[in-house]
Structures are given as C-alpha cells and as structure tokens.
C-alpha cells in the first residue's frame, strides 16, 4: 500500500464511525480523525441528550394527569444540576462505547484537527497522513444570526450545559429543534416564549399537522409568537436580557436560545484550495455515491445537505462501504424517510405531505384524517388531542403518506414506515386487525375520506 491508510475519515460522528467500522470489518486499513468528541452531534449535543431532557420535561404533566385517576401528588422541586450532570455521565459512557467500537474494529483514532493538503494528504496538528480515499463526515454546527447582542444568546449546544436553569426563556426559530426545546424548557418549569419570524412553525411539515401541533403546543402554556423577530438583545445590569423586537415591543427574559439553523462544519478543511466544490450554503457537492469534485475525496452526512438525520448518515456510511468494497452500485434511496419531532405532543411523519401529494398527483388523491382525545385524557382532564392522517393515491390505492401528532408518535410511525416502504395499499391497512385499545389502531380503522 502506497499510502498510510486505505481510508481516512474526518469526523467521528454517526456516519464517520459507521463507515470506518464497516470498512475495517472488511480488512481495510482505516483511520478516523476527530478534534472534539466521539459520536458527533447526535450523541453529545443532539438526539440523545435532547431525548433525555424531553423525558424529564414530561414529569410535571404526569402529576397533573394523575389527579383524574385518584392519584394525589405534587412536583415539589426540580434540580437542574442533577439532570444536567446525570445526562453528562450517560454521554461520557456512550463516548467510551464509541471508542471501544473503533478500537475493537481495528480503526486508528487520531485526535486533532484535520486540514486537507491534497486529494490524498491530510494534516493533523502538523503531522501529515496519506490515504487512498478520504471521507469528510464533519456534520453541522448551530449558528446565531448577525443580530446586535447575539453574543448574549445561546444555541442548543450550550443549552445542555447551562450553569443555571432559566426561569424565563425565549426560543427563537420555527424548526424541530426550536419546538422541541420550547417543550423542554416549558415542561421543566421555565416561562417559555417560542418566537418565529414566519407564518407558522415547522415549515416543511404537512400543513394540517403544523397547524394542529401549533395549537397543542400553545395549549401546553408556551407563548407562541409568529411573524415576530428580534432586532437586538441588550444585557441589563442585573443580568436579565432585554429583547427588542422589530415590531417595536420588547421582552424581558433570563435566556435567549437561537435555533434558527445549522451550517456545515467545514472550517479549516481547505476545501477550496484542494478543489472540493461546495454550494452557496457551504454544503459539499457529492454525487449519488458520495464522491466530490476531487475523485479521491468523498463526503456524507449533514455536510452534503441531505436530510440532517442520524439514521440517514448511518445508512450513507453503509452504502459508501458497500460501494467501495462490495460492488454495490445502487444509489441511496431517500424516499419515505420517517422522522419525528419530540415536542409535546410528539409529531411523526413518513412519506409525502398533503401539499407535496397534491403537487405530484393533483386530484388523484384521497385524504383520511382523524382527531380525537386520547383515552388517557378522557379521565385526566387535560385538553390534549391527537391527530392522524393518511394520504392515498386514489388510482393505485397506495398509501403515500402517514402523519401523526400524539403520544409515542415516533414509535407508531416507525412501524408504518415499513409498510409504506413496502408499498402497502389502503386495502392492506383496512384488512389489518387493530390492537385495541390503542391510538395506533386508528390508522387501520379510518374508512371515510375527508370531505
């Protein structure tokens, strides 16, 4: 072998670790370069700690629910350092697991910051390594807009490590990260405002689901402000933040969290110098098999602008290795990718939105929709409602979309995703016996199309 490694991966996140492990399992000499933490965003400042915080935020409502069932109790206190530090212990445990996975696979872990020298050479803290192929899997990073006083605000990264839990917080953004953190802060007792400059939160999701979810989120006590944006943030002498709005009003709060977007983490990689082409938003341009404009350099995950989901990066890592070392010439399939938003109540979706379905099929579309109060809340007295929606191409009877707002939506829609990926028809759904009593059975008992 003329190079130090056959494959050198930059970034030990979900996609990078998966690709390196699978390649090493095939006898390939692999190295991974990482300058921060093993496991990437998902393990450290993303999916995993976020879900742990969501669990914590649900307890306050459970005490409210219990009263209707004759169970008396009250939430006496919430200790933020306990939650924060227990979360960090779990993340440390997972970091160790990732380290062992790499080590046991025979992957060489190089600690440091990588910089491309050419199509086969990477500099790491002054030492050069060469490889037959280089894979960039550096992921994304949250950013704050260029607003005066933005230095006083935090992003989701810092939210996981706050010294003190804020009594009041303004979450800025309308995407799933903003909506999820608004639910977390609200559930843990913070007076929460969710601020978005657009007409409605959760842009890109099914319009009916967006509107229904926004109503439910507001009913939980979150102050949802749409068509609202920040002009500047002022830090007062007592440490409070005075948020000046473009509309002319202002809000006094203890913390402002921006969740207005993420950018590809390519700082210092020298992409332009070695000839790796990027888009205007900074994402790397790669073909169906993750090859960039430099034939020996590949890229996958959030950094190439495909759906920013951990399972997508994992699948891409598997596909890359299969293409490299097993002759798999089938492109990655990005259709019918299920996803969930862990707001309260949860949202989950797979397939087309109604708007996408209308654009693709026009009148050749039948919509089935149901909203109801979950069985638990008929006694709990809480106003929360659930919504389910199926989209069917009329001429083929094929189910082309499934959407849900309600408890455990992600758990339910994951199963439906298999059926939709397999091409299930509405007749198949209708012939399936439901599990009773569950909310999930609604998906196989909806018979009347929406008028």
Contact yes or no for 21/150 (Cβ under 8 A)? no
Beta bridge mates, 264: 140
Alpha carbons 139 and 157: distance in angstroms, whole number: 14
Span between the terminal Cα atoms of the chain, in Å: 67
Given the residues 120, 244, 377, 436, select the one marked as catalytic: 436
Question: CA-CA distances (angstroms) from residue 445 to 51, 288, 395, 429?
Answer: 31, 39, 20, 8
Displacement of CA 244 from its chain's centroid (Å): 29
Cis previous bond, 271, omega within 30: no
Alpha carbons 77 and 73: distance in angstroms, whole number: 12
Residue 377 known to be catalytic: no
Q: Which residues are catalytic?
A: 436
């Amino acid at each position: 072998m003329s190079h130090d490694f056959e494959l050198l991966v930059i970034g030990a996140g979900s996609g990078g670790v998966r690709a390196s492990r699978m390649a090493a399992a095939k006898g390939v000499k692999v190295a991974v370069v990482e300058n921060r933490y093993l496991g990437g965003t998902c393990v450290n400042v993303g999916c995993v700690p976020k879900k742990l915080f969501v669990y914590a935020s649900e307890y306050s409502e459970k005490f409210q629910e219990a009263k209707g069932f004759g169970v008396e109790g009250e939430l006496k206190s919430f200790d933020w350092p306990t939650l924060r530090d227990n979360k960090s212990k779990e993340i440390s445990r997972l970091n160790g697991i990732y380290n062992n996975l790499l080590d046991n696979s025979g992957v060489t872990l190089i600690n440091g910051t990588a910089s491309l020298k050419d199509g086969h050479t990477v500099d790491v803290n002054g030492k050069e390594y060469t490889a037959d192929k280089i894979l960039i899997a550096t992921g994304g990073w949250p950013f704050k807009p260029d607003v005066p006083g933005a230095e006083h605000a935090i992003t989701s990264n810092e939210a996981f490590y706050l010294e003190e839990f804020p009594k009041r917080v303004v979450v800025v953004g309308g995407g799933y990260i903003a909506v999820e953190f608004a639910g977390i802060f609200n559930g843990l007792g913070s007076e929460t405002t969710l601020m978005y400059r657009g007409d409605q939160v959760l842009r890109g999701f099914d319009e009916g689901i967006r509107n229904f979810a926004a109503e439910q989120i507001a009913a939980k006590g979150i102050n949802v402000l749409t068509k609202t944006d920040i002009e500047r943030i002022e830090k007062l002498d007592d440490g409070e933040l005075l948020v000046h709005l473009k509309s002319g009003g202002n809000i006094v709060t203890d913390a402002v969290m921006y969740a207005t977007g993420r950018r590809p983490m390519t700082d210092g990689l020298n992409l332009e110098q070695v000839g790796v082409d990027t888009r205007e938003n900074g994402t790397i341009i790669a073909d169906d098999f993750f090859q960039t404009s430099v034939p020996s350099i590949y890229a996958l995950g959030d950094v190439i602008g495909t759906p920013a989901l951990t399972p997508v990066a994992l699948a891409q890592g598997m596909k890359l290795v299969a293409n490299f070392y097993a002759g798999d010439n089938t492109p990655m399939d990005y259709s019918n990718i299920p996803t969930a938003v862990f707001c309260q109540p949860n949202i989950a979706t797979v397939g087309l939105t109604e708007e996408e379905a209308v654009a693709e099929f026009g009148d050749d579309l039948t919509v089935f929709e149901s909203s109801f109060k979950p069985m638990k809340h008929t006694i709990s007295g809480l106003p929360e409602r659930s919504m389910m929606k199926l989209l069917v191409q009329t001429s083929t009877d094929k189910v082309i979309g499934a959407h849900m707002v309600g408890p455990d939506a992600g758990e339910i829609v994951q199963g439906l995703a298999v059926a939709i990926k397999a091409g299930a028809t509405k007749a198949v759904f209708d012939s399936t016996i439901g599990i009773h009593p569950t909310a999930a059975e609604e998906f196989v008992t909806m018979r009347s199309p929406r008028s």
